Amino acid sequence: MVGNRIFLITGSPKTGKTTLAVSASQFAPDTLPAKPGVDCDDTLVIQLDSDGTLGAADAGLFPKVLDLSGAGGYENIDKELAKAIPMIREAVTKGEIRNVCIDLTVLDREIRLYAAGDRGGAKSSLGNADVTLSGDVNWNLVSARGLTLMRAFKTLPCTVIGMAHLRRTDNNYFLKDGEKKAVEKVNDIRGIAGDKAQFTADLSKGVYDPWVHACSGIFVTEVRQVQVGSGLKPKIEKQYVTHTGATPEFEAGARRSSVLQGMETRSLNAILRDMYNFQTK
Ligand SMILES: Nc1ncnc2c1ncn2[C@@H]1O[C@H](COP(=O)(O)OP(=O)(O)O)[C@@H](O)[C@H]1O
Ligand SMILES: [Mg+2]
C-alpha cells in the first residue's frame, strides 16, 4: 500500500508525464500502453488543460477527471479546488480514489499570472503567458499560494502526484529576451540536479520547493528513439522511459536508486510496488 505519499513527475512536454501518473492506478497493467484500454477509476486527474488526459487515453488509461480547464483564472481554480478537496477526501476515505494527479505547470502559470495581476493589473487568464516571467510578479504571493495549495493536497490521505514540465537551464531558447532576464534575476526556477543541471522544473520556486521537500520521490520521464530490427532500414520506435535514479543528466531522487533499475519502462504502479515492497521487507 503506497497511501499518503507525494510524488513529482517531471519531463519535457509529451514525454508521458500524465500517462505515467495515471498508471499509478491499480488497474494499470505493468507495461504500457494498456491494450485493451482500462478504466482507472481509483485515479483522479485534476485537469487544467482541456486536452490534459488525452495522451493517457491514447495509451489506454482512462482516469476519473475533474475538469477545471474552463475555470478562467487562478482565483476561480482556487475556489473550485477549495470545493473539490473535501469531495476528493470523501471519495478517498470511501476507498474510491487512491491517486490524485495535478498538473503543476499550468497551476504555477495561473498563480504567476494572478500574482502579476495583483501587482500591475496584468490579466489573469489561461494562455496569457507574456506576463508570467515579466519580472513584475509578486513572488511572495506566488510562494504563499504555492504553499497553501501544497498543504491542501498534502492532507489528502492518498497518493498525490504532481506533474511539471522541464526546460533546459543552459539554453532557454524559447524564452523571450525580457523573460530570460527575469529568469536570471529572480532565480525562480531551480535545477533538478542543482547547479549543474541541464534541466530545470518549469515552476516558480514557491510552487516547486514545497513539492520537492514534501515528496517521497521525483520521477523524470523521457522519450527515446530505439532501433528495432536490423538492416539498412531498421524500424525506429518510441520508447517511454522513467528515470528512477540519478544519471549525469537527470537527478530523479536517490532514495530508490538501490531498489530499481535506474531507468524503467513500466507503469508507475509497478514501480511503486517494487519500491515499497522492498522497503517493507
Ligand atoms: N508508456 C507509454 N507507452 C506508450 N505511449 C505512451 C506512453 N507514455 C506516453 N505515451 C504517449 O505519449 C503521448 C504523450 O503522453 P502524455 O502523458 O500526454 O505526456 P505529457 O503529460 O508529458 O505531455 C501520448 O500520445 C501518450 O499516449
Ligand atoms: Mg500532461
Cβ-contact 266, 30 below 8 angstroms: yes
Say if residue 10's pLDDT is above 60. Answer: yes
What amino acid is encoded at 253 in this protein? G
137 lines ligand 1 (CB under 6 A): no
pLDDT band for 275, please (50, 70, 90 cuts).
confident
62 lines ligand 1 (CB under 6 A): no
Express each pLDDT in 206-259 by its tens digit.
888 899 888 888 898 999 998 988 888 888 999 999 988 766 666 666 556 667
pLDDT band for 197, please (50, 70, 90 cuts).
low
Ligand 1 center–CA 126 separation, angstroms: 23
Atom of ligand 1 at shortest range from CA of 163: 21
Structure-model confidence comparison of residues 257 and 129, the more confident one: 257
Substitution candidate for ligand 1 out of 8, 10, 17, 19 with most atoms within 8 A of CB: 19
58 lines ligand 1 (CB under 6 A): yes
CATH number for position 54: 3.40.50
Express each pLDDT in 27-39 by its tens digit.
999 999 999 999 9
Atom of ligand 1 at shortest range from CA of 21: 17
Ligand 2 center–CA 69 separation, angstroms: 13
The predicted structure's pLDDT at residue 139: 82
Atom of ligand 1 at shortest range from CA of 53: 18
Ligand in closest contact with the CA of 103? 2
98 backbone dihedrals φ, ψ, rounded to 5°: -120, -20
The C-alpha cell that represents 102 in the structure block: 495535478
Atom of ligand 1 at shortest range from CA of 12: 22
Ligand 1 center–CA 28 separation, angstroms: 14
Ligand 2 center–CA 54 separation, angstroms: 9
Residue 12: inside a domain: yes
Report how far residue 41's alpha carbon sits from residue 44's, in angstroms, rounded to the nearest whole number. 7
Substitution candidate for ligand 1 out of 58, 62, 65, 225 with most atoms within 8 A of CB: 58
Residue 232: inside a domain: yes
Residue 197: which of 218, 216, 213 has the closest Cα? Answer: 218
Structure-model confidence comparison of residues 26 and 203, the more confident one: 26
Ligand 1 center–CA 178 separation, angstroms: 32
Report how far residue 23's alpha carbon sits from residue 141's, in angstroms, rounded to the nearest whole number. 33
Helix axes 104-120, 205-214, angle to 10 degrees: 140
Domain tally for the chain? 1
DSSP 147-209: HHHHHHHHTSSSEEEEEEEEEESS--TTS-HHHHHHHHHH----BTTGGG-SEEESS-HHHHH
pLDDT band for 262, please (50, 70, 90 cuts).
confident
Express each pLDDT in 82-112 by its tens digit.
999 999 999 999 999 999 999 999 998 888 8
Cβ-contact 46, 102 below 8 angstroms: yes
Q: Whose CA is nearest to atom 16 of ligand 1?
A: 16
267 lines ligand 1 (CB under 6 A): no
The predicted structure's pLDDT at residue 191: 54
Distant-in-sequence, close-in-space partners of 174: CB < 8 Å, separation ≥ 6: 167
Q: What average pLDDT does the chain have?
A: 82
Residue 173: inside a domain: yes
Structure-model confidence comparison of residues 161 and 190, the more confident one: 161
Residue 150: inside a domain: yes
Mean pLDDT of the region 58-70: 96
Residue 281: inside a domain: no
Residue 176: inside a domain: yes
Residue 83: inside a domain: yes
Q: How far is CA 204 from CA 106, 118, 190, 212, 236, in A?
A: 11, 16, 8, 12, 37
* Residue 126: domain span: 5-276
Residue 246, classed as helix, strand or coil, is coil
Say if residue 132's pLDDT is above 90. Answer: no
Residue 122, classed as helix, strand or coil, is coil
